[in-house]
A = this chain, B = another copy of it.
Amino acid sequence: MKKRHSHLLVHAPEPLANLTSRLRQSARRVTGPRQAILDLLRQQRRPMTNKEIHAAMAEGDCDLVTIYRSMHLLEEMGMVKRFDFGDGTARFELVTGDSHGHHHHLVCTSCSEIVEIDDCFAAELELRVAAAHGFKRVTHKLEFFGVCPGCQQKSLACKRPDRARRMPCGC
């Protein structure tokens, strides 16, 4: 990471201030890559893969491995949330304090466009399921898949249905 985005420190946007204090209290460091990642996630409000994040921060700013390690850390700290759209690559989104907590997505199986679904209607289901089977600390993963308006026209049927599960569907 050559040059730190100093403007970040100036604005001291919420997530960053958050990061700083949280890191400090666990004897961890506020480093360039970590700041850059949060910054990126703050701009692009959409689930991003590690590779996308890496590519997005131009000029070999930091190693891909560092991204992986940072995401683990940030996830542990509850600053990002991991999503799994079934294509074998993890995606991460910034956890913004305001409202945008637990939510789901609607993913186009053709162009992989992602729509954020803000309300979570499954909370009540969790309770029901937990009660029915005696489980504790029950959470859930719920994602929707379909064909977006754009792809419906183009009638872009997937040529290789056996690969449909790979979201960034290169059929």
Contact = CB atoms under 8 A, between A and B. Distances in A.
A147 interface: yes
A141 B86 contact: yes
A129 B122 CA distance: 13
Contacts of A75: 162
Contacts of A72: 162
Given A117-B129, A137-B146, A138-B145, A161 B76 contact: yes
Interface in A58-116: 72-73, 75-76, 82, 84, 86, 88, 106, 108, 115
A30 interface: no
A133 B117 CA distance: 10
Give the top 7 A-B pairs by smallest Cβ distance, nearest first: A138-B146, A135-B146, A134-B149, A142-B142, A72-B162, A140-B144, A136-B147
Interface of A: 72-73, 75-76, 82, 84, 86, 88, 106, 108, 115, 117, 121-122, 125-126, 129-130, 133-149, 152, 161-162, 165
